[in-house]
Structure 1
Amino acid sequence: MRLVQFEVSNGERRVGVVEGSQVREVLSAHSVRELALAAIEAGVGLVQQVQSLGLGDSHHYAELLADLKILPPLDHPDPAHMLISGTGLTHLGSASARDKMHQQAGDDSALTDTMRIFRWGVEGGKPAAGQAGVQPEWFYKGDGSIVVRPGAAFPVPPFAEDAGEEPEIGGLYVIGHDRKPYRLGFAVGNEFSDHVMERKNYLYLAHSKLRSCSYGPELRVGELPRHLAGTSRILRNGEAIWQNEFLSGEANMCHSLENLEYHHFKYSQFLKPGDVHIHFFGTATLSFADGIRTQPGDVFEISQAEFGAPLVNRVGSADAAFEPGDVITL
């Protein structure tokens, strides 16, 4: 089952099930989060909860996408109760592009921190079930306010040095009243980062991740296929300027999903009842590694057949939110 959240003509929210070219409304459901919390309370799965409510009116999916009526497939009414985070160096082959950025000039033989963490993952990232493996790289990206709906533009701040895509799969979670994380499913995501800033110094990685992101348009309920092969491409003036295969799933990863989830949710501050978590699982495909530099107006298109419609966003701009000296002393 694939779910979407969308707005109808009067601005009200709906939850829908994707059925081919149509989206069928889930009766009495206004958010996937509420749907998930109700399923947890009832002790049933998300699919069973949808089936218990039934389906209503149909909407043309393509029109909802074109009119930017499709919302991210999971969110929170209070963005402060939504955590966007991620992990990297999790995919086989993911270390090469990152390692190029972090090599010490004139010392290609030095083992970088990138390669060291990647090797740790290869050696210990897939422990036996119920066991903790080596911890991966982890980063904070923002709260719910940084999420851009499918089809919309990424607001690139004036201090940004790059506007680069990161095609990834993200896990979508709600914390139950029992303080346990419940995975609703997965979505295609664009984790969107500043790779020029990261390349300057690895300690700038945290800064480079504080950008917008997008995921969806669909939530794929259930387990993640072991092998996923999709496409990431960039369009400029309607023409593709770069395209590459985008692999994911545990068959293409050096960490198990269980291990990545453990090393995120082991922190008690991430187990607040009702909160929403979006956790990106990393990628091995970056246009930046191929020398591509994006421009305002460029369009990112990330597709995985198992996740339905592609995720499309473009490079936009944003005014400065703060200037030097603007802190006020009380």
Structure 2
Amino acid sequence: MLLSQYDKSGRAQVVVRDGTEAFELATGASLHQLALDCIARGDSLRDRVAAIGLGRAVDLAQLYEDRRLLPPVTHPDPAHLHLSGTGLTHLGSAATRDAMHAAAEAETDSMRMFRMGLDGGKPADGAPGVQPEWFYKGNGAALVAPGAALVSPGFAGDGGEEPEIAGVYVIGPDGTPHRIGFALANEFSDHVTERANYLWLAHSKLRPAAIGPELLIGALPASVEGLSRIRRGGEIVFEKPFLSGEANMSHSLANLEHHHFKYGLFRQPGDVHVHMFGTATLSFGAGVATEDGDLFEIEAAPFGLPLRNPLKQAAPREGRAEVRTL
């Protein structure tokens, strides 16, 4: 089952797709409200959707074309939606990152962290494994809808895609995280800034991100095969497959989730979390320099419609950020 949301007269309307046809869920509740309702009732999301029932059929592709699709999950207060992620979690991720940070005849911190994940990222006994690289991207103000522009700030070195899978969560009243589902994600980053100095990784990640358009409900397939491409005008300037899912990762999802939600800060009731699990495919690693107007496309069969977002380069700002004394 796939869930999505679109803007219906200023509110988020949940759409259900199980096969080729899509229908409105027969409620005015957003997915955030629906998830909290499931927690309160002790229902699964599938059972709650079945109990509520379906309304009229909708054309998701047309809603996409009309720019009416929303991120599959939102929060009424964007400050209570958190975007974060992990890196060096995929079996193919180390080579690109290592090349970005390589020093002569020295193993990089990136490669050491990758090896730590290989050795201890999937503990067999269910205990916590080694912690992954972790980064913060922003709050709900940085979450971009499918079809909307990913804006690279004027001070950025570049704006590049990162095709990933994200887990989407809501925190219950007792502080327990509940996973709603999984979505395609473009964890948009500044790889030029990151390459200049690894300690600038935190800066390079403070960029918008997009997820969706649809949310996969239930278990994530062990292996996910997708495709990442960049269109420039009528030409495809980059296209490469990507692999995700636990079979292609050095960490288990449970381990990545543990090392995020072990912090009490991230277990505040009602909050929404979008946590991205890492990538192994970057156009930057293939030598592609993105340009204003490029269209990023990320697709994988289990997730329904592809995630498309154009790149918009913001104009440089004159001077430094002004701070005023009160």
TM-score, reference length from structure 2: 0.97
SS of corresponding position for 2:313: coil
Match of 1:120 in 2: 116
- Offset at residue 130 of structure 1 (A): 3.0
Deviations 1:19-63 (A, max 9, x none): 455421111143111110000111011111111110001111111
Match of 2:293 in 1: 297
Q: In structure 2, what residue type is equivalent to 1:125?
A: G
Matched, 1:283 2:283: no
Match of 1:6 in 2: 6
Matched, 1:43 2:42: yes
Match of 2:95 in 1: 96
Residues 269 and 287 of structure 1: CA distance in aligned 2, closer, same or farther (over 3 Å) = same
- Offset at residue 320 of structure 1 (A): 6.3
Number of residue-to-residue matches in the alignment: 326
Q: In the TM superposition, what are the counterparts of 1:108-147 in structure 2 within 5 Å?
A: 109-147=105-143
The answer to whether the 8 Å contact 1:170/1:187 transfers is yes
Pick from 233, 239, 250: which aligns with 1:243? 239
SS of corresponding position for 2:174: coil
Counterpart-to-counterpart distance in 2, 1:201 and 1:145:
27
The answer to whether the 8 Å contact 2:154/2:317 transfers is no
Q: Which runs of 5+ in 2 are unaligned?
A: none
Counterpart-to-counterpart distance in 1, 2:46 and 2:250:
30
Residues 325 and 155 of structure 1: CA distance in aligned 2, closer, same or farther (over 3 Å) = closer
- Offset at residue 321 of structure 1 (A): 7.8
- Offset at residue 194 of structure 1 (A): 0.2
Pick from 308, 312, 318: which aligns with 1:316? 312
Counterpart-to-counterpart distance in 1, 2:306 and 2:278:
18
- Deviation above 6 Å: which 4+ runs of structure 1? none
Give 1 or 2: higher strand fraction.
Answer: 2
Match of 1:34 in 2: 33
- Offset at residue 128 of structure 1 (A): 2.5
Deviations 1:90-109 (A, max 9, x none): 000100000001012xx1x3
Residues 276 and 321 of structure 1: CA distance in aligned 2, closer, same or farther (over 3 Å) = farther
TM-score, reference length from structure 1: 0.96
Q: In the TM superposition, what are the counterparts of 1:106-185 in structure 2 within 5 Å?
A: 107=104, 109-185=105-181
Residues 321 and 143 of structure 1: CA distance in aligned 2, closer, same or farther (over 3 Å) = farther
Q: In structure 2, what residue type is equivalent to 1:54?
A: G
Counterpart-to-counterpart distance in 2, 1:28 and 1:316:
35
Matched, 1:211 2:207: yes
Q: In structure 1, what residue type is equivalent to 2:14?
A: V
Q: Which runs of 5+ in 1 are unaligned?
A: none
SS of corresponding position for 1:36: helix
